[in-house]
Amino acid sequence: MVEVEGVVDRVIHVGSDGHTVAVLATGETGAPVTVAGTVLTGLRPGETLRVSGRRPTSGRHTDTVRALTCERVLPATVRAIRAYLGSGLIKGIGPTIAQAIVDRFGADTLTVVDTTPDLLLQVPLIGRKRLATIVEGWAEQRAIREVMVFLQGVGVTPGLAVRIHRHLGAEAQQIVEQHPYQLIERVHGIGFHIADKIALAVGIPERSGARVRAALLHVLDEARGGGGHCFLPRSALLTSATQLVRQDGQLVEDALEELREMGSVVLERTPALFEDDLVFPSWLHRREVAVAENVRRLMAAPSQLPTRAGAAPAEDPPLGERQLAAVEMALTETLSILTGGPGSGKSHTVAALVRRARARGATVALAAPTGRAAKRLSELTGLRATTVHRLVHRRDNPVDDGGLFDPDDGLSSDLVVVDEASMLDVLIADRLLRAIPDGSHLLLVGDVDQLPSVGPGAVLHDLLSVADVPSTRLDTVYRQAADSGIVHNANRVVAGRPPVNGPQFWFHDLDQDPVPDVAELVVDIATRRLPAKQDCPPAQVQILCPGKARATGATALSRLAQERRNPPRDGDGTDEHWFDDRPFRVGDKVMPTRNDPTKGEFGVFNGATGTITAVDKDEQRLEVALDDGQVVTYDFDELETLAHAYAITVHRSQGSEYPYVVIPLTNDTPHPLLQRNLLYTAITRAKKLVVVVGHRGALFRAIDNRPRRRNTLLTHRLSAIGPSEAPPARTPDGQQFAF
């Protein structure tokens, strides 16, 4: 056993399981010592660690300490103090000011900061305002250390302890001790399993009502987040929750009744569909009911579209018969849908519709779920297009549910066209439909064969399943698109046939070319081989993954690609900041993972991407230039809502296009993610070339695996206006719904 104390100089590697390799600078000379282990999760450069572990006596890594315990301590040497203060951990202190403070107070620096902080006014660049920020930052770090000591005592990792304190502040210890299941709702990234581990460690009984209620809500939330379901059958929910808490069924049934009485869930009975009660989270039930009500309202309202005569502009090429029918449908029906696959002429039809509507004197609003899709829609029509979120959110009150239309933004339009409508979940569809006034026309445009929305529901699919909702499907692939290997293979996949190699599509067969490290191969193709072959910058290549986890998931591949495309620069680390186990560097490609309509000039929403342009350790924030032209800032404590985007999930890519796409599809991919519509969506994101790196077995499983129907009642709620026969839905317990 050995014990090492030193300052984290740099982090070499962080694995998907949290295994971390770092270099400590020890002693006054800064002699480097490499340490490794999962107990190091969440460390950041500048921290001082006391690590205990073993040094192997044989093998390649005899100079590496295998860490068994890790304790954060205050630095004791001048060198360590300078690194600690300059690392960005203390608000108001960056590398320059850290150097000035240590030059003035030397080894007494931390004592001065802790006991007589007013003396810091003797340091140049520090005034009263900055001093107040430093005092606040120091108090916060002291509180974090105290909370971390407590949380590590109940098995919480250091990185998670910092996150808990970041969200809860001074309340952290009290909530963890008395109401640990509140962590699920109040701390991003903590689910039932982590909260339950903490709860049992602090003495919450296994039969606690709070524990069982949390388990029931967790099962519903997993169904929503993992499968897009709006509800679960009561029996399936009770079975899953009972298995989760390992308690008797009556206790779980009582807890479900408590949730119903509290208004947290709604039980709905639909005997025509299923003999069991259906259990919704109450907020999601309200949204789905509201979507149905507003569909009825819009369809019942008489059209207010101007009818004055106007010459129909000539189209080049001329519209086909079904395209003409789609245009006429959108001009006469207050709610309608246009669907079709790649190359079927949806874009040409939308452009013709917009021109004809404007020729009749109609005002037109254009929107899409993502900024990139909105930009394409704008380029197609020559009119300004916006994101759906921006369309329906008011800047002065982004959570307000009413008064969402602002005439100054052109939102009270005669015709509203929403592209990429397959991405609309129940929540945003609710806001969108409520915002459309009576008499306005709404056209939803989308490819129903693509992945459904990231959020709950299957709005486009459900509306297409209602006979009286007007819709047109374009099923002719036009000649120019038919010559595209991307379009050809996308249509083969959606028809259940395997793709074929050609100039625009290539399957790198791992069965024929086995490699020891598939993740390294994928990143090498995306960052070196493909850019060299196509004579393009690596930035034009996007890795799209079925999921986030595993060695070939988006999280691990993004880390590898970052090290290839934007490795750490030689220097003092001023252009990067470590958050949890991730370095954020100037030049990094990033994307937000949470909507924030108050950030920037227009708000920030899922699907946006950008580049880090500045790291300000004095002000503790990053500057990000988004693709839509906005420049927004993220405080260091907001970085859990920002992800690296060198590799992203296929779901996150919806609404976007990239010149070149690399798709890992391996036997390591979780089977539920190997779905036909996922592969189809990934292929259709590329404009010039697709490279699939994978095993034939995984490829054929994806093609054979048709997506399961999501548990929704939207089609049923619209049955009074004529439901059509929809495919059956298989629920998690194996029973079927026929919607």
Kindly report, residue by residue over 153-194, the tens digit of the pLDDT: 776 766 677 778 778 877 888 888 889 999 998 887 788 998
- C-alpha–C-alpha distance, residues 190 and 202, integer Å: 17
- β-strand partners of 625: 611, 631
- Where is average pLDDT lowest: 132-136, 320-324, 473-477? 473-477
Confidence of residue 408 (pLDDT cuts 50, 70, 90): very low
pLDDT at 738: 26
pLDDT at 406: 41
Q: Tokens 């369309």 identify what position? A: 391
pLDDT at 731: 35
- Here the tokens at position 583 are 């370095």
pLDDT at 425: 93
- Where is average pLDDT lowest: 53-67, 274-288, 328-342, 675-689? 53-67
- C-alpha–C-alpha distance, residues 53 and 69, integer Å: 7
Other C-beta atoms closer than 10 Å to the C-beta of 500 total: 11
- C-alpha–C-alpha distance, residues 80 and 87, integer Å: 11
Helix, strand, coil shares of the chain, percent, nearest 5, are 40, 20, 35
pLDDT at 149: 73
pLDDT at 725: 38
Confidence of residue 393 (pLDDT cuts 50, 70, 90): low
C-beta separation of 652 from 564 below 8 A: no
For the cut 90, the answer to whether the pLDDT of residue 646 exceeds it is yes
Contacts of 238 (CB under 8 A, 6+ apart): 249, 252, 253, 256
Confidence of residue 723 (pLDDT cuts 50, 70, 90): very low
For residue 30, the Cα-to-chain-centroid distance in whole angstroms is: 40
Closest CA to 459 of 651, 232, 222, 717: 717
Report the top-level CATH class of 209-287.
Answer: mainly alpha
Q: Please check whether the domain covering 484-583+644-704 is classified as CATH 3.40.50.300.
A: yes
3-state secondary structure 58-107: CCCCCCEEEEEEEEEECCCCHHHHHHHHHCCCCCCCCHHHHHHHHHHHHH
Closest CA to 430 of 397, 396, 410, 404: 404
What sections of 441-553 are H helices per DSSP? 459-464, 479-482, 485-494, 518-524, 530-534
Confidence of residue 418 (pLDDT cuts 50, 70, 90): very high
pLDDT at 223: 93
- Give the DSSP H or E segment for 261: helix 249-262
The whole-chain average pLDDT of the chain stands at 85
pLDDT at 229: 95
CATH topology of domain 301-394+410-477: Rossmann fold (3.40.50)
- C-alpha–C-alpha distance, residues 374 and 366, integer Å: 8
Q: CATH 1.10.10.2220 occupies which residues in the chain? A: 209-287
Q: Please check whether the domain covering 2-72 is classified as CATH 2.40.50.
A: yes
Give residue 536's identity as a one-letter amino acid code.
C
C-beta separation of 299 from 721 below 8 A: yes
**Pairing between strand 48-54 and 2-14?**
antiparallel
Q: CATH 3.40.50.300 occupies which residues in the chain? A: 301-394+410-477, 484-583+644-704
- Give the DSSP H or E segment for 708: none
pLDDT at 354: 93
For the cut 50, the answer to whether the pLDDT of residue 518 exceeds it is yes
For the cut 60, the answer to whether the pLDDT of residue 739 exceeds it is no
Confidence of residue 405 (pLDDT cuts 50, 70, 90): very low
What sections of 106-191 are H helices per DSSP? 109-115, 128-153, 158-168, 172-178, 183-186
